[in-house]
Structure 1
Amino acid sequence: MKTIAGIVPIVAAVFDDRGRVDLEGFARLVRHLTGTGAKALTLFGLATEFYKLTDEEKERMMRVLLAETSASPDVAGIVSITHHSWEVAAVQAQQAEQAGADALMLLPPFFLAPSADAILTHARKVAQAVSIPVIVQYAPNQTGVRIEPELFVRLREDCPNARYVKVETQPPGKFASRLHELSGGGVETLVGYAGVQMIDVLQRGSVGIQPGCSFSEVYVALYGMFRRDELEEMNALFGRLLPYITYWMQSVELIVKAEKVILHKRGLIASSYCRQPDYRLDAAEERMIDAFLHEFGAYWGK
């Protein structure tokens, strides 16, 4: 079983300038990411613009990503299951497992404010449909649904493969600590939200960070410093990164667009197109991205 820990980027969807999925470009991006030091790649998170993709497009993208991660001895392939109905989500989970996914990420239902029991049932049904590890994504700011930590502990007790929670509360560290405490360490945590609270959550015992994918090399460097107990160096590098990611994380569409522009300017994708509706950067925000690329270019040889 491949490790689900360290830096676990959410892979961007790649479109051409007309908004069509660019599968060849997507495959090139995935191959690049497998060489960055990331321990796993996640597909169909919010940063993948999953909510703007057809089922057929998602199927083709999943096959491309899993072909690459299955060929890698070190990089796990994670597929996010986002359907609102467990009857459909469980089938999608089985299909992802059969296609070679090493783990799943599960976005619980949120439309029309389902009850806690409905959310628990959904997560149970999906986790029980597969044998691979499941990461439950908890993003209350994006979904509008609050979930108590006890629910995740109950899920872990009922479904041994529901080992992880991706915590995207604000702040995430306190929630992650509570999960660790209530579960006696049985629930492991990863943290998204661009890793804005990366240092705090790693010190609290979270096993990994799930940021976007446009500058994975910087996150990998930071995580390496943490693992080597080089906290002074880590704080210095993170202090340089923080003004950028805190600005971009003011909205999902803003950071999706910023990451696409970074990928494009790095030459990793041919177009920075985001499907509509999207965020339109102004001149100052474009200059911010150029400053970022200049400041951190040494991490990818520029």
Structure 2
Amino acid sequence: MSSTIKGIVAYPITPFDRDTGAFDPKTLHTLLDSMISSGVDAIAPLGSTGESAYLDDAEWESVAWETVDYVDRRVPTVVGVSDLTTAGALRRASIAADAGADAMMILPTSYWHLGEQEIREHVSAVADSVDIPTMIYNNPATTGIDMSPEFLVDLVSTVDGITMIKESTGDITRMNRINELSGGTIPFFNGSNPLALQSFSAGASGWCTAAPCLAPEQVVHFWRLLESGDRSGAGAVFDKIEPLLKVLVSRGLPSTVKAGLEFLGVDAGLPRRPLLPLDDNTRTALSDALSVARGVIVAS
């Protein structure tokens, strides 16, 4: 299996009706149209931003089908299939494949600490269960499970279904090490917003980010400048969007992104409890950073 996914991989939130708390597909459509028309390279529902961990099985399935169906192959879709149990992740992988996802992403997560053999057997079973490529995702800040560059590269090298890596520790040396170990042959994606500029210098194939929910044209503009070799121009754009990127990760992404959308006139509802809406100070910082980021002039 192979994948041609690269560039800006946009992570939508899962919108909820503010009054009932139910999944709101209409607002999801609005968000997807905005990101796709702005030029993002892929859509990745049901990650941390999409509150996957807080959805019941029926909700998760609805979001997966709705997203893939509405995107309708305008860009590739990468569906997050992580679950606490292997059986649950296998079920989600099957749904993602049946829905028509182009790829899936798995983040090992567990109540008990998992050893490398447990991680290997868990992700291998899921990746090999369907015929779409898998992105293995490392995010110890949310899971408490940290996979080394050596282990991640070995997984890609030995498990046919795993073809990509998402590295989200915020440590640029990890990305350099992945690139070194694989000789530049394994696609890896940066999942740490503040490292977006550095990660592409380290050889990253793309940037997995929720920022396009709020400033899609500016994020895409940054990537296109880099892709064209204009690092100076990309750096100037990054300086303008960096404050927004930092505020976004200062709290849980569902809380910050949904507050940002509210500033833009899009009601995506409240983050699911126990997550809480932003405090006043963070809302002010977010509003200021969002104004600066969206003030970047994007050439037509």
2:151 alignment partner in structure 1: 151
Distance 1:157 1:23, change over 3 A: same
Letter of the 1:5 partner, please give it. K
User: Any idea what the Cα deviations from partners look like across 1:181-212, whole Å, max 9, x if unmatched?
Assistant: 2223332110113x211111101110000111
Compute the displacement of 1:58 (Å).
1.1
1:57 and 1:3 mapped to 2: Cα distance? Answer: 29
1:28 and 1:199 mapped to 2: Cα distance? Answer: 28
Compute the displacement of 1:153 (Å).
2.2
Q: Describe how 1:1-302 pairs up with structure 2 within 5 A.
A: 3-18=4-19, 19-72=21-74, 75-171=75-171, 173-193=172-192, 195-212=193-210, 213-251=213-251, 253=252, 255-267=253-265, 269-298=266-295
Distance 1:12 1:199, change over 3 A: same
1:158 and 1:97 mapped to 2: Cα distance? Answer: 22
TM-score (norm 1): 0.90
Aligned to 2:89, the other structure's residue is in SS state helix
TM-score (norm 2): 0.91
Distance 1:275 1:87, change over 3 A: closer
Q: Percent identity over the alignment?
A: 24
> Which 10-residue stretch deviates more, 128-137 or 237-246?
237-246
2:243 and 2:73 mapped to 1: Cα distance? Answer: 37
Letter of the 1:276 partner, please give it. R
Q: Which runs of 4+ in 1 moved over 4 A?
A: 298-301
Compute the displacement of 1:2 (Å).
6.8
User: Any idea what the Cα deviations from partners look like across 1:33-74, whole Å, max 9, x if unmatched?
Assistant: 2212111111111111112111111111111111122342xx
Cα contact 2:77–2:101 (8 A) shared by 1: yes
Aligned to 2:238, the other structure's residue is in SS state helix
Cα contact 1:70–1:77 (8 A) shared by 2: no
1:176 and 1:131 mapped to 2: Cα distance? Answer: 27
Q: May I ask how many residue pairs the two structures share in their alignment?
A: 294
Aligned to 1:43, the other structure's residue is in SS state coil
Compute the displacement of 1:299 (Å).
5.5
**Cα RMSD after superposing both structures:** 2.0
Cα contact 1:190–1:208 (8 A) shared by 2: yes
User: Any idea what the Cα deviations from partners look like across 1:118-160, whole Å, max 9, x if unmatched?
Assistant: 0011111111112211111100111111212222222222223
1:192 and 1:280 mapped to 2: Cα distance? Answer: 23
